[in-house]
Each structure stands twice: as structure tokens, then as C-alpha cells.
Amino acid sequence: MQEQKEIGYRAEITLQPSLFISRNTIILLLLIIGGSALLYSSSAITMSLDGLPGYPAASKTVAINGANRWDGDTKVTVPTFDFSPSSSQALKVSPLFEHYYHSHSTAKSLGAPLTIAFPTDQGWIQFFGSGALLLPADQEKHTFSAENVQSKGPLVELIYPGARDQGTGIVRLPLLQSLLTFGSQVPIGGKGSPLTYVDLRKAASPDRMLPAPAAGHAAKVSSTELQKVFIKGGTRAGKNVGHLIPQPLWNYINRADVSPNGWETDFGAPLTEALPFAITKNGRIHRMLVQTFLRDGLVLDQGSLDAAGQPQIQRLDISVAYLRTFGPPAVAIKPMQTIWAQGDDDTALFTEPGTGHVVAHVGQNFPLALLGETTWSNGMLWYHVQWTAVKRTGAAWAPATSITFTSPGSVAGRASFDVLSPDLAAYLASIGDNVDAVVYDVTRQRYYSYNADAQFVTGSSIKVPILLTFLDMIERQHRQPSNYEMYLLTTMIENSNNDSAGILYHTEVGDAAGVASYMQRISITGLNPYPNAFGWSLITPMAMVHLLTDLYEGKILTAHDRNLALDLMENIEDDQQVGVGDTAPSGATTAMKDGWVIGPDGLWAMNSSGIVTSGQETYIISVYTTGQTLLGDGQAIARHVCGTVASLLISFDRETPS
């Protein structure tokens, strides 16, 4: 590259800034004047390329810019894959490539992600707007060398000449070189363009290189003229030859943000002249220039100006061209391999990729099994997956953006009730916003939910947070509850006595602020204690399930106080066991608390929450209702949900066999 820089002469050209007209373009214009109706047809472009100087075999060109690798290539590849970038969501750089992407100044040159990262038999690959990154597999199936790559497929051929990072092993794949090698017929610059990568390969022939201009030739350039910079690409008959880079493109590749490592490293030597062509965009003809370099290509659009009033320049969309030419590399997965849902929002699973109807929703960390089939739809990769939920198994399609192959470890997965039971999900949906429910299957580490983050009035269920706040308070005071305090605790929980709850709430734990402070310390969110009138507090079912889970799993309080709290909740009087209690399997241990209150509008809020253990199986459930005309309506909802969950999660029926 040093030799190229030494002879980077400037050559005077007389092209208008708003309309770059090369010698070849003039030939085209003459053809038009002569009556040709094919203004920018492929035949016209071919004549333009043929018009570039060629030299007889006696004047053989010795190329040093890498163009000789395509000398004599004639292979042509018709695009076979209908790939269009996804417009439904912005894709993220995979964690596999994120550090490399940001630390190697590649964000500008690669562009934004074009696909999700996915596994191939050569490793993990992700395509970006102007390139692709590959993280090779630990055990590569092929040995790559200059001698054996020619017989391999397009992806394998990319790996050997790619730029490999020594620290990470990540390879930046030279997509442009593959497009030239295989002669892609994808149009340059978009639909309707007369140029393809076959034309670029032809223009890259060493015989197309121009003689070096005389030193100092462009001593003076008028304000309406542009310069070109000559870069040596070889020798012919003992004299330097190369290509001219128009000044706007030269300025662009010398920008620090465009070529942080220098243009020689980031772009490489020019392979072609700047070739003129035209395309129609939104009914308007745009005059374009395209110039290819060893590692990248640039397109200049004179019909679109940037903020500085200069012609807009962008990189060739080589990734789209590659994917349309060869299709994405085959996805390498193992049937029944476990993957996990990811993302803050629930992922919809479809009967068909992107177009079918939704059959289930899975959330963060929910495990899925690959069935072995994959497909691409509207630029998005889809996996055919299977889910399992105790007594039900289903299959559907999941978008690759919503899954991960990295195990989250021993954490609970989340899903909607439609994974556990479509009938139960439909029942809840029929009630709408007047119900929310969460169940945590402790045995299998699965959450199932509906409206999990909706806050409803607590009624007497606030007495569980009051109980736990009080026990934490006396632990910090290093004492046990007095006989009177035990009386208040017992009657508040077992008999749901409001007077006892009021004394503990107002005079012992510090009212709403005291309960809120304890919830904050143990990282429970979703509970808003109400000052003075504790029954009007608000809570989400997820908050109640989390609180009961912490109690059950020993994450809060001492073992003694946890046992005390659970014992009180296991001895609720009979008329207070609606929902969790009266639908639990026979012989099950149930620690629970109900709540109900009639609102100022005359409508009822009713709820039931608890911990149910039957044999070796345990689940924790919380169901809240609101806006019910009768208390019995809310109780019927709680019974239906709790009873259905019990029948699904416990391996035997509620009635003891005779």
C-alpha cells in the first residue's frame, strides 16, 4: 500500500459536480443520440465497460491490487432467494459479536444488523448492512487453505480470505469478493439498475487499469471541475497503471469516521474505475457512480444531497446482494435441542412463520425444544419449536429474535396461561381486565400468568404483608412476639379480624410506610399500601406470588418466623378458604389468604392467594378480581381458576380414589 500512496497523483477532469460524466458515459450519450432506445440497458452498460481501454497480450498487466484473482472468471449466478430486510423491528448486535463490533471500529463500516445471529456448520454468523461476522465453531469441519477452498460452498470460500481477529477468532467475511467470484446478477444500487456484479468483475480486469497521469498534470482546476486521485494497481510494459478515484469518493474514504484504520486497510485498493449508471427512484432518474475496492464498494447518488449539499455516498448493500444470490447459509441445529425465550415482552408463537395465528405466548427464560425445521420469512429467521407444560405439549413457530441458545441457568421460565391450558386462557380472556392471575409451578420452575402486572384492591390479602413486616420488625428487635401480639397475629390471619389487623398496621409496623419500606428492602414491587385504610391497598398478583415464594423458599425471615407465618396461613377458618383452599387436592397442605371488599361503586373485589403442596409437588397461586356485581361472582372466578390449575399441576385428582 505504501507504493500506492507514493504515486497518488491528482488528474484533472472536466466533470460537473452535479453530473459526473466519464469518457464511457459520453460514449453512451453518443449512442443515445444515434437513436438507441436502450438508454441504460445491460447492453449499453456492456458497451460502456468494453469502452474501457484494453491491451494486447504482449502488454500484459501485472496487478498488485488483487484484481488478478478474477481474471478470466466467467461464472454467472442468478439470484435465487427472495430476501428483504425485516421492517418489523430493529435487530440487535448479537452478544457473540457485540464487543468486537464496538471495539474494532466496525460499526460504521459494517452498518446496522441485517439478520439475527444464527448457527451454521461453520460457526455463528450475523449479517450486517455492509458485511458479515463469523465466530467459527470450536471444531471446524474443514481445513482451510488457499489450495482447497475453491471446491467448497460460498460460505466456506469466504472464511480463508476473511480478516480474522486474533483475540476472538471472529472473521469478517469478504462478501464482495464472493459476489465477484460467483458473478452475482443482483442489480447494483437497487431494482432497475443496469449494472450487476458481473459488470463490476469485468471492470475489475487488470487490463482495464489506466496509465498513470503525468506528475503535476492537475496543476490548476477551475471551480466547476473535479479532480480524481490516481492509485497504482500494477504495471504494464514497465509503466504504472491503476485506477482513478473521484474527489468526493476520495474525501469520503479518508474520513476518520469512515476509515478509522485508514482507507488502505478498511477499503483496500480500487478494483475499478467509478462506473456511471442511472436508476429511477420514486419516478425520478438518479445519476449514479459505483466504484469497487478490494474489501468494499461505494455508490454515489448525484440526485440525493447530504447536509453539506454534496452527493450522497453509501456503501454497497453487499449483504442483501449476497443473501439474494446464495440465500442465507443453512442453519445448523440439533432436533430437540433446548433453547430459551428471551425479552421483556411475551413472545407469540405462530402456526405459520409470521403469517399464521397465535397459539401461545412464552416469556423470559421459558424453555423450548427445536424440532429441526427453520425458515426465513420477510427477512426474519424462524424456528419450529415445541413446548411442554405438565399435561400438554404443543408445536409452533418462534422468531429467532425472541430466543437464545444460551442457558439462563437455574431460573424460572415465564409463559402465559395459553401454554398451560388454552381453555383456561380463553376463560380469563372472556372476563377481560376484571381479573388477573399468576401461578408459579415450583416443582418445574414455571410461571404462568394473565394480566400479571395489573394492580387490584387487596382487601384482607394485605394482612399477609402486614404479618411478614411485623415478624421482620421483631427480628430486628431481637425478640419474640408477646402473648398479646400473638393473639393479634392469629386472629388477623386465621379469622381475618380487621380490628387486629388495624392495631398491627397502625401502631406496630408503621402503617403504609412501614409495610412499603419492608417490601422495598426485600425487592418486592407491585404493592402500594394504602395509608390508614389498609384494605384499599393495591397489589399485583405477581407481587403476591413473589412474596409467598420468598416465604416458602426461605429467602426472608428466620426459619422459626417462617414456620410461624406458614402455620397461621395453614389454619384459616373454613369460610375463609374460598378459591385456593376449597379447590386444592385432597390431602394437600395449603397456606393461604383470601380478601374481598365492596367498593364505593357497589362492585366487589375478591381474591385468593396461597401455597399448595401435594406430595412432592408445589405451586403458588394468586387470583384477583374486580368489578363484580356479587361477591359470589368473584368467588366463582377464583374457584374456577384455582381448581383448573390444581387439576393441571398436580398429578392426581382432588378426590381420593376409593
Name the fold adopted by 435-649: Beta-lactamase (3.40.710)
pLDDT tens for each residue of 409-429 = 999 999 999 999 999 999 999
Contacts of 601 (CB under 8 A, 6+ apart): none
Instruction: Give dist(CA 440, CA 304) in Å, integer.
Output: 57
Rounded average pLDDT over 110-132 = 94
Interaxial angle between packed helices 541-552 and 463-476, expressed in degrees from 0 to 180 and rounded to the nearest 10:
40
- What number of other Cβ atoms are within 10 A of residue 352's Cβ? 12
Higher-confidence residue of 362 and 38: namely 362
Instruction: Give dist(CA 471, CA 569) in Å, integer.
Output: 14
- Going by pLDDT thresholds of 50, 70 and 90, the confidence category of residue 226 is low
- Going by pLDDT thresholds of 50, 70 and 90, the confidence category of residue 104 is confident
What is the per-residue pLDDT for 39?
33
Cα-Cα-Cα-Cα dihedral sign, residues 101, 102, 105, 110: positive
What is the per-residue pLDDT for 489?
99
What is the per-residue pLDDT for 138?
65
What is the per-residue pLDDT for 41?
37
The one-letter amino acid at 437: A
pLDDT of residue 49 exceeding 50: yes
DSSP annotation string for 565-589: HHHHHTT--GGG-TTHHHHSPTT-E
**195 close to 299: Cβ distance less than 8 angstroms:** no
pLDDT of residue 13 exceeding 90: no
Higher-confidence residue of 34 and 183: namely 183
C-alpha Rg value of the chain to the nearest Å: 35
CA distances for 15 relative to 11, 12, 219, 306, 490, angstroms: 12, 9, 16, 20, 94
Rounded average pLDDT over 65-80 = 93
What is the per-residue pLDDT for 54?
55
CA 273 from centroid of its chain's CA atoms: 39
Output b/e per residue, 589-618; b: 16+ Cβ within 10 A: ebbbbbbbbeeeeeebbbbbbbbbbbeebb
Rounded average pLDDT over 505-528 = 98
Instruction: Give dist(CA 319, CA 115) in Å, integer.
Output: 10
pLDDT tens for each residue of 278-289 = 999 888 899 999
In 3-state terms, what secondary structure has residue 238?
coil
pLDDT tens for each residue of 165-203 = 888 999 999 999 999 999 999 999 988 899 999 999 999
Rounded average pLDDT over 555-570 = 98
- Going by pLDDT thresholds of 50, 70 and 90, the confidence category of residue 153 is low
Percent of the chain predicted with pLDDT > 70: 85
What is the per-residue pLDDT for 579?
97
What is the per-residue pLDDT for 339?
97
- What number of other Cβ atoms are within 10 A of residue 627's Cβ? 17
What is the per-residue pLDDT for 228?
92
Q: For residue 413, what is the enclosing H or E element?
A: strand 413-416
The one-letter amino acid at 504: L
Q: What is the pTM of this model?
A: 0.84
Rounded average pLDDT over 233-243 = 95
- Going by pLDDT thresholds of 50, 70 and 90, the confidence category of residue 14 is very low
**Taking all residues of the chain, what is their mean pLDDT, rounded to a whole number?**
87
Higher-confidence residue of 218 and 112: namely 112
**439 close to 412: Cβ distance less than 8 angstroms:** no
**581 close to 611: Cβ distance less than 8 angstroms:** no
Copy the grid coordinates of residue 259: 476509515
Per DSSP (E only), the strands in 433-581 are 435-441, 446-450, 456-457, 527-528, 538-539
Copy the grid coordinates of residue 258: 469512515
- Going by pLDDT thresholds of 50, 70 and 90, the confidence category of residue 52 is low
pLDDT of residue 386 exceeding 70: yes
**408 close to 365: Cβ distance less than 8 angstroms:** yes
pLDDT of residue 562 exceeding 70: yes
- Domain parsing of the chain, residue ranges: 197-212+225-317, 337-413, 435-649
What is the per-residue pLDDT for 369?
98
pLDDT of residue 601 exceeding 60: yes
What is the per-residue pLDDT for 282?
84
DSSP annotation string for 435-449: EEEEEEETTTTEEEE
pLDDT tens for each residue of 329-353 = 999 999 999 999 998 888 999 999 9
DSSP annotation string for 28-94: HHHHHHTT-S-TT-HHHHHHHHHTS----GGG-EEESSSGGGGTT----B----------SS-----
What is the per-residue pLDDT for 164?
86
pLDDT of residue 106 exceeding 50: yes
**160 close to 151: Cβ distance less than 8 angstroms:** no
**626 close to 399: Cβ distance less than 8 angstroms:** no
Which of 640, 643, 633, 634 has the alpha carbon at shortest distance from 612?
643
- Least confident interval from 137-146, 217-226, 489-498: 217-226
What is the per-residue pLDDT for 179?
95
Please measure the distance between the N-terminal and C-terminal CA atoms of the chain and give it in whole angstroms. 90
- Least confident interval from 15-29, 151-165, 279-293, 303-317: 15-29
pLDDT tens for each residue of 445-454 = 999 999 999 9
- Least confident interval from 304-318, 463-477, 528-542, 586-600: 304-318
